[in-house]
C-alpha cells in the first residue's frame, strides 16, 4: 500500500515534516521556512551540567515537537499526537493510520537508523520522518534529510521509534487531524504570532543559558575553555558546538538562513517592508555563525590554539548575540499592518 504523498527534501527535519504533512491541506502554501517561522523554531540554549557525547549540550532550535504543534495551532488545524508504552500498539496504530489513508509523522532516534551513514549515528532522539505506506515488510519512509524516499523494515522502524535515552520518542506519532481550509488571512495572523513568540523566546526568556543572553554567555565561557579544559578537550567541545550548529536537525547557522527566508516569504502575506530589511540581518547572523565555525575548525584541526584564538572565537558569539538582539528588537518594534 502506498499513499498519495510527495516526498520533499528539506533543511531541517521537523519543519520539513510539518510542511509536507500540511501540503495537501494548505494547498502547498506552508513551505518549510513558513513552518519554521510560524512554529517559532529559532532558539539557542546551552544546557549546563548536561553532557552529550562527553561534550556540551547546545541546542539551536525549540524543543522537539513544538514546531509542528505551534504551526498547526496557529492555522487552526487540530493535531493528533500519541505516545505508546507498547510496541505492538504503536505499530497497530501506525497501520490503522495508513489504512485510513493518512501519512504520519514519527519521532525517531537516529542511532539505529539503517539508511544513515554510520558517522552520523549518535544517540539523538529528536529526528522526524514521515511514513506513507507499506510494501511487504517494508515501510515507505519520507525522511526530509534524504533526497529520495527510502524504506525501513518493520523491525528497523520499531527500533528507531523506541530508541532509548534522552528525549526517547516512545513510538511518538503525529498528524494533522482534519482538513481545515487555510486562508491567507490565517497565514498572516499565524506569521505575526509566530514572530512575536520567537521574539519572546529569544529576548525575554529568563536566566543566562537561553536566548540571546545564552549566545553571549556561551561566548564568554568559550574564552575560558582553553585554560579550564586544556587544548584538546576545548577543541572537542568546539567541534561539538559546530556539529550542533551545522548538522542536520540542529543547524544553528543554517537556521538563521531559514529564518531569513521565512521573513522574505512572510512579506507576501504581511506588508511590512521592515521584514525584508530584518531578513538581511538574519542572513548576516547566519554568515557570522559560519565564520565562527571556521574559527572553531581552525582550533580543533590544530591550526590555531592560542588564548587569542579562543578570545576571537568567544568574541564572534558575543558579536552574533548583538546582531541577533538587534534583529529581534526590530521585529519586536514592528507596527503590524
Partner 1 sequence: MPQDMSALGKITKEVCYATDSSGKYVTELSAGWEVKIDALDVAWKDVQERVAAAKQKVLNNEASPLLFFMEYRLMDISILSDYSGFWKWQIKRHLKPEVFKRLSDKKLQKYAEAFNVKVDELKTMTVHEA
Q: Which helix (H) or strand (E) holds 108?
A: strand 104-108
CA 263 to CA 258: how far, in whole Å?
Answer: 9
Beta bridge partners of 51: 56
Per CB under 8 A, the segment of 89-97, 132-140, 143-151, 322-330 that binds partner 1 is: 143-151
Within 188-227, the residues that bind partner 1 by CB under 8 A are: none
Q: Can you give the C-alpha Rg of the chain in angstroms?
A: 20
Among 2, 83, 89, 164, binds partner 1 (CB under 8 A): 164
Within 231-260, the residues that bind partner 1 by CB under 8 A are: 235-236, 239-240, 242-243, 246-248, 254, 257-258, 260
Residues 255-274, one symbol each (x = binds partner 1 by CB under 8 A, - = not), give --xx-xx--xx---------
Q: In what order do the strands lie in the sheet with 127-135?
A: 79-82, 173-176, 104-108, 127-135, 138-142, 150-153
Residues 275-294, one symbol each (x = binds partner 1 by CB under 8 A, - = not), give ----xx--x------x--xx
Within 39-98, the residues that bind partner 1 by CB under 8 A are: 53-55
Min dist. Cβ of residue 222 to partner 1 (A): 15
- DSSP assignment of 217-275 equals HHHHHHHHHHHHH-HHHHHHHHHHHHHHHHSTTT-HHHHHHHHHHHHHHHTTTS--THH
Closer residue to partner 1 (CB): 76 or 298 = 298
Residue found by looking up cell 495551532 in the block: 73
Name the site residues for partner 1 (rule: CB under 8 A).
9-11, 33, 53-55, 111-112, 115-120, 122-123, 145-148, 164-166, 168, 235-236, 239-240, 242-243, 246-248, 254, 257-258, 260-261, 264-265, 279-280, 283, 290, 293-294, 296-297, 300-301
Amino acid at each position: 500500500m502506498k499513499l498519495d504523498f510527495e516526498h520533499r527534501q528539506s533543511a531541517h527535519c521537523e519543519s520539513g515534516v510539518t510542511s509536507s504533512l500540511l501540503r495537501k491541506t494548505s494547498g502547498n502554501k506552508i513551505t518549510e521556512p513558513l513552518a519554521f517561522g510560524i512554529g517559532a523554531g529559532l532558539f539557542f540554549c546551552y544546557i549546563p551540567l548536561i553532557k552529550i557525547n562527553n561534550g556540551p549540550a547546545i541546542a539551536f532550535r525549540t524543543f522537539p515537537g513544538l514546531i509542528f504543534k505551534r504551526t498547526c495551532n496557529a492555522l487552526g488545524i487540530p493535531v493528533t499526537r500519541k505516545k505508546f508504552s507498547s510496541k505492538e500498539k504503536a505499530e497497530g496504530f501506525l497501520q490503522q493510520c495508513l489504512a485510513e489513508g493518512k501519512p504520519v509523522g514519527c519521532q525517531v532516534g537516529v542511532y539505529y537508523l539503517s539508511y544513515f551513514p554510520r558517522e552520523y549515528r549518535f544517540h539523538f532522539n529528536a529526528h522526524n520522518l514521515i511514513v506513507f505506506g507499506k510494501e511487504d515488510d517494508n515501510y515507505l519512509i519520507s525522511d526530509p534529510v534524504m533526497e529520495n524516499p527510502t524504506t525501513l523494515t518493520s523491525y528497523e522502524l520499531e527500533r528507531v521509534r523506541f530508541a532509548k535515552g534522552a528525549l526517547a520518542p516512545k513510538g511518538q506519532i503525529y498528524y494533522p487531524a482534519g482538513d481545515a481550509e487555510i486562508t491567507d488571512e490565517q497565514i498572516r495572523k499565524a506569521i505575526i504570532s509566530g514572530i512575536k513568540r520567537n521574539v519572546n523566546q529569544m529576548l525575554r526568556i529568563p536566566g543566562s543559558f537561553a536566548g540571546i543572553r545564552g549566545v553571549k554567555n556561551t561566548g564568554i565561557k568559550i574564552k575560558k575553555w582553553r585554560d579550564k579544559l586544556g587544548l584538546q578537550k576545548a577543541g572537542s567541545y568546539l567541534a561539538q558546538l559546530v556539529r550542533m550548529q551545522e548538522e542536520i536537525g540542529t543547524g544553528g547557522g543554517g537556521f538563521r538562513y531559514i529564518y531569513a527566508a521565512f521573513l522574505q516569504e512572510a512579506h507576501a502575506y504581511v506588508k511590512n517592508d521592515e521584514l525584508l530589511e530584518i531578513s538581511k540581518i538574519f542572513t548576516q547572523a547566519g554568515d557570522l555563525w559560519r565564520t565562527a565555525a571556521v574559527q572553531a575548525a581552525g582550533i580543533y584541526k590544530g591550526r590555531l590554539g592560542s588564548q587569542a584564538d579562543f578570545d576571537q572565537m568567544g568574541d564572534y558569539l558575543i558579536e552574533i548575540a548583538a546582531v541577533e538582539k538587534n534583529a529581534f528588537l526590530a521585529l519586536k518594534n514592528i507596527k503590524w499592518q
